[in-house]
A and B are shown apart, each in its own frame.
Chain A
Amino acid sequence: MAALEDTRVESTDRPVLELEDIGKSYGNVNALRGVNISVRQGEVTCVLGDNGAGKSTLIKIIAGLHEYTEGTMKVGGVIRQFNSPRAAQSLGIATVYQDLALAPLMAVWRNFFLGNEVRKGPFLDIETMKRVAGEELTKMGIVIPDLDRPVGSLSGGQRQCIAIARAIYFGAKVVILDEPTAALGVKQSGVVLKYIVAARDAGLGVIFITHNPHHAYLVGNHFVILKLGRVALDAHRDELTLEQLTGEMAGGQELDELSHELSAADPGKVAPAHEVAHGGVPAPGLGDDERDGAEPGDDAPRRTE
């Protein structure tokens, strides 16, 4: 992977990617407001936040899928506004989207090289593409015996690995991963985390977006928590313990409340079997006093994941 080695030379103290007061509104929804983030090469920057906090919006701006509506974004010190993902890619920013961006009916190797096809003269160099795709996937611990299979017939974890392997293979400076471990089992999550470390060691800037503070703390150098479109916390690893990170994620006090509420749930109990009429299960945790105070988007304590 010569492409990765080259970037080491460029790695300096200056952040490769700087967001200053970035804002993005979808019509009247302000999905992001006043966000400041710096991403350095050779570091893993974790972006955490609840559902709808604006994580995906943030990375879509960096990846060139959306244009920001406020502030400035600098790549390598130069102000940029990407109008297409191609523009971001050409500056060495590769992205693994939450929805993976794979075409389900296309073969694995075609998906792997989509947008970056290898050619021999005017024609596709199918042999090389199949070989490289196979090698890169094997490196991730995924063995797909038949690279001609349509991606849609693979498991979620295998698809994730294809998308990650592709981003790392084609990403020269910055790799963005949007919730790569969300749908994965323990072992596959471990593989993805190892890959994040490997990309960091190779000198890439990694932006790792996740719900999971444990995963973030395993690999992160730098943590940014988004809440309702704003940066709620921006801290280096030295300034933070896992407990603090988890606490900040859940909103500290809210987590205490949650553990208090759940202490009555009696995890060991087995309820007698029953048939329940439609609507016969009451909404959990909605006591009369809480019902007024519940804010949309602030429902962390009741999440069941």
Chain B
Amino acid sequence: MATVTATPADDRVGTRSTLSTVLARPEVGALIGAIAVATLFLAVAPAFRSVGNIGTILYGSSTIGIMAVAVAMLMIGGEFDLSAGVAVTTSGLAAAHTAWWFGLNVWAGVFIALLISLAIGAFNGFLLHKTGLPSFLVTLGTFFVLQGVNLAMTRLITGGVSSNSLRDLDGFDSAKAVFAADFSLGPVNVKIPVVYWVVFTVIAAVLLLRSRYGNWIFAVGGDSAAARAVGVPVVATKIALFMGVGLAAWLLGMHLLFQFNNLQSGQGIGNEFIYIIAAVIGGCLLTGGYGSVVGASVGALIFGMTQLGITYAGWNPDWFRTFLGVMLIASVLVNMFVKRKAEG
């Protein structure tokens, strides 16, 4: 190359302090929120202080966190999935109905449910690509379709609103051991979804920040035209993200099915917003291209703590949703404030 004279460093740009580098991380707002919520309930709710309740709090958080991680990845990739809440129920029902109806080994039902969940995700992504409609609309459609399917298929197969018990089928015990086991860790009783949640978060975080695919996710969410122009396979990336939500829905659906032995066909509606809120509390931008799965998990933890903290504090649990709404807006404001401080 010809020699191009290097200009001296621009002396207007100071190096950023370590503090502002730390503050610029997307999950900072969620961490501050989590500490605030924990402090509040530690102060007002004596039961919150008991070590034995940690397991309960983590369990509540994990049932949100498993989904919130996948939803956060999708949001970083610039899309929403409003069908995520009912998709959990669809997955559980798919396993229950197929295994019961055909008298299959429970594991066959579990496997069929996995295929169905991945297919729903792929379908969402494909429809998004083919129609060019916003994912908000496409998945709103899927949300209603699945809601109807859940109710109608359950009525058709069982004549009621809940799936039949699988207890007598082959493979039930081993499936329960995989999806709904628990164990003791000192004084804390740990339910298996907590482990899945942590593993899921770690895998997602590594994927997002340390793999080529993660780079593509940020790029398609930040500017999909730019990503396509430099050769990122935008459509494949987005379809994979929707399938990731499907995978998480399957995992949670299997847990719920084997934890309670049956599922209600109307379950899960409205949870999609809880997942999105957890992701937003965790620092995801609604416009895509920015966010963190660790943040989303901390967001889920805030949910878990609040849910139980309100009960432990002896407050009327009717206030739970109000509290969440306030948390959501507060954390978004904190995120904005922290980001501006860190960049300014």
Q: Enumerate chain A interface residues (CB-CB to B < 8 A).
A: 1, 4, 63, 65, 84-86, 89, 95, 97, 99-106, 110, 113-117, 119, 122-124, 126, 138-146, 148, 153, 166, 191, 194-195, 197-198, 201-202
Beta-carbon contact of A105 and B218 below 8 Å: yes
Beta-carbon contact of A116 and B4 below 8 Å: no
Given contacts A104-B222, A106-B219, A106-B289, contact A201 B229 (CB under 8 A): no
Beta-carbon contact of B222 and A139 below 8 Å: no
Given contacts A103-B222, A202-B1, contact A143 B289 (CB under 8 A): no
Residues of B within 8 A of A123 (CB): 206, 210-211
- Residue interface mask B214-234, A partner, CB < 8 A = 1: 111011001101111111110
Given contacts A103-B219, A122-B211, A124-B212, contact A145 B290 (CB under 8 A): no
Interface secondary structure of A, over-half rule: loop
A145 to B21, CA, bound (A): 14
A63 to B228, CA, bound (A): 11
Residues of A within 8 A of B290 (CB): 105
Residues of A within 8 A of B6 (CB): 138-139, 141, 143
Beta-carbon contact of A139 and B4 below 8 Å: yes
Residue among A99, A102, A153 with the most chain B CB within 10 A?
Answer: A102
Beta-carbon contact of B210 and A106 below 8 Å: no
Beta-carbon contact of B15 and A105 below 8 Å: no
User: What are 14 A-B contacts with C-beta separation under 8 Å?
Assistant: A1-B1, A4-B1, A65-B229, A85-B230, A95-B229, A100-B226, A102-B226, A103-B226, A106-B222, A110-B218, A139-B4, A143-B7, A153-B343, A195-B4
A123 to B207, CA, bound (A): 8
Beta-carbon contact of B1 and A198 below 8 Å: yes
A60 to B214, CA, bound (A): 27
Residue of B nearest to A94 (CB): B230
Q: Which of B258-310 contact A (CB under 8 A)?
A: 285, 289-290
A77 to B290, CA, bound (A): 43
Beta-carbon contact of A103 and B223 below 8 Å: yes
Beta-carbon contact of A194 and B4 below 8 Å: yes
Q: Is B10 an interface residue (CB 8 A)?
A: yes
Q: Besides A106-B222, A115-B232, A197-B2, 9 other CB < 8 A contacts?
A: A85-B229, A95-B229, A101-B226, A101-B229, A105-B289, A106-B215, A115-B230, A143-B8, A194-B2
Residues of A within 8 A of B343 (CB): 153
Beta-carbon contact of B230 and A105 below 8 Å: no
